[in-house]
Amino acid sequence: MTETQIRENLSKNLTALRKAQGLTQTELGEKLTYSDKSVSKWERGDGLPDIVTLEKLAELFGVTVDALIGAAPPETQPPVRMRRMPSRSKRIIIPLLSAGLVFLVASVLYLAVTALQLPLAHPARTFLYAVPAACIPLIVFMKLWWGVPQRFCAVSALVWSLALSLWVAFGAARMHGIFIVAAVMQTLVILWYIMRAISRRKRRLAMAAKENEGGQ
């Protein structure tokens, strides 16, 4: 098999497998610490990843390296066990369902308090307190299935909703400085993600440089 044939086979198979998993070129590149431009180049047949990256691709998609670069469709090969990425619709619906369950519990508590006339002040605040609780499973799912912007938004929502809940629960007089604390935490979150972005960019540049050296 010539290099041209390998490129053509990889181009066809990689595109089909990526789309079957519901991944964008950017998302696939992040899993491999490559840029989306590198993935695009492979899918166009303009280049080949190194053998280590080919093995990572094969493991990710549950196929062998031979199947990945072979002429036969990869589905005809015996698959390796893997954790499949849910479809985009499931990656949206499942986190929303998890947050919805939190509000369902809050609704049940609210109805129980009002129906039994329990001596609890402001039972409607249960829904406010449910917001930071709902952010926790959202952060988990954003970490598993989504990228940095989505994780950043979920963490930020947790910070500010928690601050608001504490401010309402204990009163403005006692918690007058809670939003200053939240602002500091938000700043730390921003710095953390900036640091992660810089680190990821350095890794991508290093991998791209290594790839260019290998292609020369």
27 shares its domain with 58: yes
139, 155 in Cβ contact below 8 A? yes
193 shares its domain with 95: yes
Burial class (CB in 10 A: 0-12, 13-18, 19+), 15: middle
157 shares its domain with 94: yes
Distances (CA, A) of 54 to 50, 88, 204: 6, 25, 16
Domain closes at, from 84, 111, 133: 84
**Domain residue limits at 79:** 3-84
Report yes or no on 79 lying in a domain: yes
Domain closes at, from 84, 117, 147: 84
Global pTM reads: 0.59
Digit-by-digit pLDDT tens for the chain (216 residues) are: 788 888 888 889 899 888 888 888 888 888 887 888 888 888 988 888 888 888 888 888 888 888 888 877 665 344 434 455 677 788 899 999 999 999 999 999 999 988 888 777 788 899 999 999 999 999 999 988 887 888 899 999 999 999 999 999 888 777 888 999 999 999 999 999 888 878 777 766 666 665 555 444
60 shares its domain with 116: no
137, 98 in Cβ contact below 8 A? yes
d(CA 212, CA 159): 42
How many domains does the structure of the chain reveal?
A: 2
14 shares its domain with 61: yes
Task: Based on DSSP, count helices (H) and strands (E) in the chain, helices before strands.
Answer: 9, 0
